[in-house]
Every structure is written in structure tokens, then in C-alpha cells.
Structure 1
Amino acid sequence: MVYLGALACHVPDHREDVSALCDENPGWNAETIVRKTGIRRRALARPEETAADLGYFAAERLFASGAIERPAIDGLIFNSHSPDYWMPATACLLQHRLGLPTTCAALDLALGCSGFTYSLWLAKSLVESGARRNVLVISAETFSRFCDRSDLSTVTLFGDGAGAALVTREPSGALARIGGTVLGTDGAGAEHLIVKGGAARSATQAGGEGESSRPRVWMNGPEVFSFTIATVRNCLQELVAREEIRWDEVRHFLLHQASGFMLDKLRTQLGLTEQQCPIDMEDVGNTANASLPILIDRLRRRGRFRSGDHMVLAGFGVGLSWAMTHLEWLENGESVPERE
């Protein structure tokens, strides 16, 4: 068996209220935006901070918990669309910065909103195969940097944050048993959620650097919504059937915190209550691949989980890609003090 041994997160202290965006964009209505997105304020990294910095802070919190010593880490997966550099891999920089042994395999994974669950699947596969024993997964994003502040469809959504998770063979003190994963990809929809500027393809098309190559996120909201509604339910049903549990045995459906509107529609489609399928993004925003670890960490600290609880995690978005993972919670369910 493979376990989620520990989990820690970092969310920047700074928040930007939606009213500030409305002040910059006459005609925008704050309450309408909040009602549709479920987001009143977004967490934003400081100008000098990168996704790697946020991931470092999350990982340091994990180590500070005493769950594992650094020399025992033999694998590191850093998942982000906001690397420090094109080369080297940010995971290599974090291996050194975190003081992990040089025997630690380190690699980057570039996936968006499905990235955390994809990373759990990859880490679990490495542990199951015997190739690694203790893999540190870091999901971190500074998507807010890609947003045009006049683009209503993106700048009102995306915030910054990071989560760190330990995937291990060691059951002692573990938070959860990691079950199966259902995952997939439909690259035909890649254009619906994309950052074109700043990379090799934009350079060949634009003829070099310039305004056209600046990295900006573009999203076709209706297409992403249609993809999500068409994909999530079927994949969750497939996962539950594969894991040989009943739908009504799943106590927690933890979905990527995309937007309030989308999550409301998914809850209705899935026949779930607010308690079963929480929306908890009002004060952080859509933190992309970090949204699931942040959600799990916040709910855990409120004492929402009990030993024996079945939960499913659903990551979906950029790619287009998706990965749904089953966890069986092992911790006793006591609330944990919130961290500053």
C-alpha cells in the first residue's frame, strides 16, 4: 500500500479584493463577480516571489511537522506552469534549497488544475514499483502573473498558492491511504485554456521577443465549462466503480476549486450537498494545481475528516486533462490549529 504521509500548504498573506479590480475597470460589478465566481479576494504572491518560493515554504512546513527527515526523501516532483527558469528544472533548484540528498530524483511536471492528482498518481506509481520510497510532491502556482487585469474571465479567478505532500510506503502516522486514479487527456481542447506567449512556439510565430510573446493566460470559459460538465461525473463514477465502493460511501467529493458557478453546477449534476462537496475559495481564489492540497489542508484543520472516510479528489482543466483519485482517510479527525 501507498500512503499520503503528510500535507502542508502555503498561501500568501496578501489579498486583493475584487473591488480593487472593479475600480480599475468601470462597468464591472463586484457583487455580480463574487456571486458568479465565489471569490471575494485572491491570494497574491509578493512581486519578488515565484511559485518555487511558495512551494519551498509549503515543504518547509511539512518538514517542520516532523513527519519525515530530509535524508529520507528520495524523490521530488515539482508541478507548476510557473518555473523559475526554462532550464534547469525547478525541482533541481528545490532539491538543493530544501537540503535534500543528492540521491534524490528530481523532476518537473507541467500540468495545471489536474496537476496535484496527476502528481499523486506518478508518485504512487514510483513507490509501488519500488523505484522510490518517499516522494515529496510540491504543487505551486502563481497564475495571477499571467492575467490581464482587464480580462474579466481570468483576473477575477486566479490566485497564488502551494501545497506539499509526502507519498510514502510508511503507514505509521499517515493521513490517508492512496487508492486508484482515473486520468486522461484531450489535447484537442488545448486552445481553450492556454498561455501562448513567452515560449518556443510564440517565438517562431512572432519572430522574436516583444509584446506578442508576453505570457498571458487566455480562457474560453464556455468551452472549459462544457468539458468539465461532460468529463467529471463519468470519471468519478468510473473511479468509484473501480475502487469497489458505493457512491453513497464516499463522504467527501473534493473538486478542483475552479469557480463557484462551475462547482455549483457540478454539485447539482452529481446530486451532492454543500457538506459533501465544499466550495472554499472565497478568500484565496482559484489556485490552479495548488487548489486541492489547500482545500484538503483547510478542511482537515477544521476537523472535517474522520478515520475511515472515503474521499475522491477531482483535478481537471489545462491540457485539457483530468485525474480523479481515491483516498481513504486514516487520521483521527481532530481539528488542528490554523497556521498563520
Structure 2
Amino acid sequence: MRWNDMYIAGTGSCFPKRDDCAQAVTEGRYDALEHERNGYRSISVGGDLCAADMAVAAARPALARSRHTGEDIGLVLHATVHHQGQDHWTPASYVQHQVTGGRGPAVEIKQGSNGGLAGLDLALSHLSARNGQDIRDAVLVTTADKFCPPVYDRYNSDKWMVLGDGGSAAVVSRRGGFARVLATAADSDPDLEEMYRGEKFTDAPFSTGLPLDLRERKREYMDRIGLPEVALRCTAGLQNVVKGALEDAGTDLDGIARFVFPNVGKSLVQWDYLDTFGIEEERTTWQWGSGIGHAGAGDQFGGLTHLAETGALRAGDKVVLAGSGIGFSWACAVLEITERPGWG
């Protein structure tokens, strides 16, 4: 989908503290071989902050940088994977209450690690559909998660990645911004949802025991389906969205200055992204991501914020945000930098 006159006006992130991975190995919390393969230096941990408060901490600078006010925000979208700080609660409304106010809808998105980019696509569609019908010409998209005990053992619940805590945010605008959204694309393959489901349903959360063992769910699925088949389908979904978004944006891989991919382990980054598209690590945000961990739906906006805050973006640069989420879904956005953000 090609977009006209749509922008990202401001972004923000909150990655509060760091847990040193080498120290985790020394203390027996992290396998030494997996540390070598994954390549993480440190992992972001939330400390005393709940997930929703990390979203708020990311959203406030995003709104301030966007040159919008809360009155301009006609929709708040909050992407999550796990517990946000309270049971039987609506964290999207909390983010709206704390950051923007107003009476626009506040909606939570549950699309796994693809939630941030899904939120971007929904924000663009909302603004496009209401063009000229609503003076509120911006949407706030936030993400946040905290992968802590007793539910998660961040170093061992899953394989090929370590889960990091944090929040991220983007203000999507019709008015203008530092990055023009040229195109987006989305794809899904629901046959793959079994990979993270496990073999039986339960009546209450976490009835199968804690911490969650996502490795065993995937192992059972791989034994039935086969790794080659799963890898082929996952690669196809990612290629579909990247190819589609680049074509609609009128560019190709050689025309992209920077790529923001998920902060999964280095081996998975190499197989799924660098080898698939034939690009160099230096054009990605992996060095930043290796100090954060995989922050659920927040890697893309977090990586874009990192590029903006460190002065890595120049007017005219094109940037790809891409990723996937369990379910399985994939998304890609192609941006063109219109001005160098002065946020550093």
C-alpha cells in the first residue's frame, strides 16, 4: 500500500536498565553457548516500572517531538504481548489518560512482536479514512512489555532470542513529520499459529506451569512439521512484505540507507534477514539491539528512535522497518527521512 502525505512526526523509547549477559552466564542464568550464538551484550530490564508506565515514558517525548498536542490525537493504539501491570484492565486507556487525554478511541493490539508495525498500518488507515472529516490529524501508537519472573525466564523461555523489557512510541500524522511513510505491506500465514500454541487449551492463565516453556511448544511443532518447511514459510512471508513495500515505495534494497529488524539473536538475524536480503549488518540496528534484547512489539520504533537520537538519519535517506509476530504475521514499512531530527 502506497501512502500519500502520511508521516511519522515523533518517536520515543524507554529501556530503563541493563542486565549484563556475560554476568548472567557467570551466574548460571544463561547458557554460554547460546550467549555466543545470540551475541547479546546486555538485556533491557524494567526494574520497578510496569509495562504500561514504560509506554507512557516513551510516549511523552514522542508527542513533544511531534509538534502535536494531546488535542490532535484522535486514536491511541497500544501493542502488547504480556501483562501490563494490572489484571482485568485496559492499558491503552491508561496510556491515553497519562499522555494525551481526549475522547478518541483507545485500543489494545495483540499481534505478538508484529504489534508495533500493525499499529502503524492501522494508524495510517484511520487517518486516511478520516481525512477532512476530523480536525484530530494524528494517532499515537505505543508498545510495551515486561518479560519477568515468575511467568518468563527471559534467558531460557525461548530459543534464538532473549526477551527485553521496554516501551516505544510513534506519533503518526497527516500534518508532517521527520519521516514520510512511503509504503507499507502486511502478510500472514495462520497455519503457523500452532508453533506457539502447544497441544492443549486451559481455563486460566499459566495453568501449564511457570516459567513458560516456549521452547517445548516449538519443539513439538517442529517434530511434526519439520524445520525446513517452517523456515521456508517464514522466509516467504518476510520476503512478501519487504518486496511489496519496496515496490510500492518505488525503490529497492540498494536504495535503503538503514534497516530496522527485530532484536532477535545474531544467528537468527543472520539467517532470517542478512542472508535473505543480502545486506550488511552495518546497515541495520543490530549493534543497538544487541544491548536491548527482543522487546516484543517495540523493536522497530525503538530502533528508529535510536537512529534519530544518534544523528544517524539524513534528509533523503530511506529506512525499512520490518518484522514478524507469532501467529504468524509479517509487516514492512518504507520511510523517507524529510529532515534530520535534532533530538540528540
Tell me if the contact between 1:9 and 1:293 (Cα under 8 Å) persists in the aligned partners: yes
Going from structure 1 to structure 2, the CA distance change for 1:288 and 1:217 (only over 3 Å counts) comes to farther
Correspondence for 2:174: 169
* 1:65-214 → structure 2 map (5 Å cutoff): 65=65, 67-82=67-82, 83-85=84-86, 87-101=88-102, 103-130=103-130, 133-145=137-149, 146-148=151-153, 151=156, 153-154=158-159, 157-171=162-176, 174-194=177-197, 201-203=201-203, 211-212=207-208
Cα offset, 1:21, TM superposition: 4.8
Distance 1:150 1:111 in 2: 22
Distance 2:242 2:125 in 1: 20
Cα offset, 1:326, TM superposition: 1.2
Going from structure 1 to structure 2, the CA distance change for 1:118 and 1:150 (only over 3 Å counts) comes to closer
Moved more, 229-238 or 298-307: 229-238
Distance 2:144 2:299 in 1: 9
Correspondence for 2:297: 289
For this pair of structures, how many residues does the alignment match? 322
State the secondary structure of the residue aligned to 2:67.
coil
Distance 1:263 1:332 in 2: 28
Distance 2:154 2:341 in 1: 41
State the secondary structure of the residue aligned to 1:24.
coil
Query: What is the TM-score normalised by the length of structure 1?
Result: 0.84
% of aligned pairs identical? 21
Going from structure 1 to structure 2, the CA distance change for 1:289 and 1:25 (only over 3 Å counts) comes to closer
Distance 1:120 1:21 in 2: 37
CA deviation string 1:271-312 (max 9, x = no partner): 112232331322211112111111111122222211111222
CA deviation string 1:65-93 (max 9, x = no partner): 46222222221001102244554421122
CA deviation string 1:135-189 (max 9, x = no partner): 1000112234542367364496111111111011111xx1111122211222221
Tell me if the contact between 1:144 and 1:155 (Cα under 8 Å) persists in the aligned partners: no
Indicate which of 20, 24, 39 corresponds to 2:28: 24
Runs in 1 of length 4+ with deviation above 6 angstroms?
none
2:153 corresponds to which letter in structure 1?
D
Indicate which of 258, 269, 274 corresponds to 1:267: 274
Instruction: Show structure 2 runs of 5+ residues with no match.
Output: none
Instruction: Show structure 1 runs of 5+ residues with no match.
Output: none
Correspondence for 2:283: 276
How much is the aligned-residue C-alpha RMSD, in angstroms?
2.8
Going from structure 1 to structure 2, the CA distance change for 1:56 and 1:25 (only over 3 Å counts) comes to closer
Query: What is the TM-score normalised by the length of structure 2?
Result: 0.83
Distance 2:316 2:243 in 1: 20
State the secondary structure of the residue aligned to 1:241.
helix
Correspondence for 1:313: 321
Distance 2:155 2:114 in 1: 26
CA deviation string 1:118-149 (max 9, x = no partner): 11000010001116521100011223454236
